[in-house]
Amino acid sequence: MNNPTMTREQQGLTIRSAMVADAETLAELSATSFHQAFDGSSKQENVDGYVQAAFNPAQLTMELSDPHSTFMIAELGDQTVGYFKLITGEVPDCVQDCQAIELSRLYVRQEFIAQKIGAALMQRVLEEARAKGHATIFLGVWEHNYRAQAFYQKWGFHRVGEHIFQMGDDPQTDWWMARTL
């Protein structure tokens, strides 16, 4: 049954669990999305170095195999348009719930942002976090990524602290944001 509040594009959207076989697809989507969002935020060699280290198929295969991680992929037809990664483990001191789950990544291909793919993924993020029994979710976002901050605030996240995200030789300030589920 079609949901009348969903856009035509969202109605063709599927969100499924990612598998190790998806590592190469996720590596490409991650690299593209990261470059789209962060080129110009630091020296290009810093951005390129981070992308090469964090988003290569071997690294993503390892992350997909981690029992503390949950990856979900958004597909529109035969095209992968976004994904998210939830992870359990270390919780920063500024997050009041030591059993909180982290939204480590929520990436959408830039050309699909206007189609509300991020909103569909965020809805699934919250459902997955609740289903895993968590009462709080948190994330880190770059202090100058105003678009992402506005998106997260719309979903009820609020700033609870900050930390340094090392981009090569460039220490960048990220905000910790959290919300209850």
Contact 64, 71 (CB under 8 A): yes
Q: Which amino acid type is present at position 76? A: L
State the CB neighbour count (10 A cutoff) for residue 114.
Answer: 10
Give the residues across from 158 on adjacent strands.
Answer: 178
Q: Which amino acid type is present at position 89? A: G
Q: Which residues are catalytic?
A: 152
Contact 60, 30 (CB under 8 A): yes
Q: Where are the alpha helices (DSSP H) in the chain?
A: 8-11, 23-38, 44-54, 57-65, 117-131, 146-154
